[in-house]
Amino acid sequence: MLAVATAGFVVNFWAWALVSPLGAFFTGELGLGALQTSLLVAVPVVVGSLGRIPVGALTDRFGARVMFPLVSALTILPVLFIGYVGNDSYALMLLGGFVLGLGGTTFAIGIPLVNAWFPPAKRGMALGVFGAGMGGTAVSAFTTVQLTEGVGFAFPFTLVAVLLAGYAVLSAVVLRDAPGRTPLPGSAVRRAWDTFRLPVTLQMSFLYAVGFGGFVAFSVYLPTYLKTAFSLDPGDAALRTAGFVVLAVVMRPVGGWLSDRFHPVAVLTACFSVVAAFAAVSALEPPLAPAGTIAFLAMAAALGASSGAVFALVAIAAPAGTVGSVTGIVGAAGGLGGFAPPLVMGLIYGWQGNYRPGLWLLALTAAVAALYTWRGMRSVGRDSTAR
């Protein structure tokens, strides 16, 4: 079940991230301004993040066996629409990107599925392995432009549509919800609202917005930062950013494994402390080799591990039967948390001519998250029943 869910997460996230690597292509083809291009790239991500809230609630109601094949099949429609119909019109691209956000909601389907199949002592590692499926965005980044230039514009969209169709069939045949799952009654809207009011939901949303939001922000803005601050050429900046992303993805299951061995609170406190320390180092603007590179890689490792640890904590803190709903809201917070920092960094650079205040702000935010985790969350899941 873990392998099938992770494969589905990879394929759907690959679909979700198809538009972003082609931002420069659409800018030229459709004559877009900077704001229009930013909106085009952001629409699938924002919709995919917010869509996790209702999809998580629906997963609690109907189960992942229904939701995974359904969402995967529906995501084929916007993929083919962009690949064959809407790519010559900005309005149609926005419409296609809006529906493409469906692919990003599968995070809220897989987490409750995997959580229910594993005993508490192994959930951190299992959820971390599933979470590494976010590497589907890296697959898109590495392949979409190359396939478009080498084979044709429609090819990557056709390839992903075929993979989505294959996965929809596979998951419908193979995927099973854990024995003993009891569907929750009531409407998805009411469950989502009741879940939002739980203190644990807001607490986890804050931690995930800092951890995963920090990862998203760096993956989006790091190429611009490296080109501007260190005068790297675009290819070198992209390669270094890819290294950052891959390390963060690899460290996500490590964070889950460490949470099983020790406790998610201890892991999160350590991760946020590392981010705070090395963000402060980066704010001093040391040379990129080696101090600057070490600082960014350390932050990548800590942000990736923290993302795995947050959902290890969700697994022991969320009330029974609400993991999908809590995951939906927390996942939305993490996705949305990645879009404010790039805007802030851009504004700060325009105002100050350097990025130092933004990096100091990151250091402060991570330090607050570390202190809050240690002081406010250390009693969560400590009782013998939960562990």
Categorise residue 178: left if φ over 0, alpha if ψ from -120 to 50, beta otherwise.
beta
At 210-235, the pLDDT tens digits run 988 888 777 767 777 787 778 877 66
Give the pLDDT mean for 124-144.
82
Count the Cβ atoms, other than its own, within 10 Å of residue 154.
Answer: 16
Residue 262: phi and psi, rounded to 5, are -115, -90
Taking the alpha carbons at both ends of the chain, their separation in whole angstroms is 22
At 313-357, the pLDDT tens digits run 887 877 766 777 787 788 888 877 876 776 677 777 778 777 788
**Which architecture does CATH list for 1-174?**
Up-down Bundle (1.20)
Helix and strand numbers (H, E) in the chain are 18, 0
At 242-277, the pLDDT tens digits run 788 889 988 988 998 898 888 899 999 999 999 999
The whole-number pLDDT of residue 157 equals 94
Is the pLDDT at 66 greater than 80? The verdict is yes
At 357-372, the pLDDT tens digits run 888 988 999 999 999 9
Give the pLDDT mean for 369-381.
81
Helix, coil or strand: residue 39: helix
Please state which of the four CATH numbers 3.20.20.150, 3.30.420.240, 3.30.2130.10, 1.20.1250.20 is assigned to the domain occupying 199-317+339-380: 1.20.1250.20
The whole-number pLDDT of residue 245 equals 83
| 341 Cβ contact list (under 8 Å, min separation 6) | 213, 214, 217, 221, 358, 362
Find out whether 300 and 222 touch, Cβ atoms under 8 Å: no
Does 115 or 343 have the greater pLDDT score? 115
Residue 231: phi and psi, rounded to 5, are 60, 35
pLDDT band for position 119 (cuts 50, 70, 90): confident
At 167-200, the pLDDT tens digits run 999 999 999 988 877 666 666 667 667 777 888 8
Cα torsion at 42, 45, 48, 49 (round to 10°)? Answer: -100
Does 320 or 58 have the greater pLDDT score? 58
CA proximity to 34, closest of 224, 293, 285: 224
At 82-100, the pLDDT tens digits run 999 888 888 998 899 899 9
Does 284 or 353 have the greater pLDDT score? 284
Domain with CATH 1.20.1250.20 in the chain: 1-174, 199-317+339-380
Does 193 or 19 have the greater pLDDT score? 19
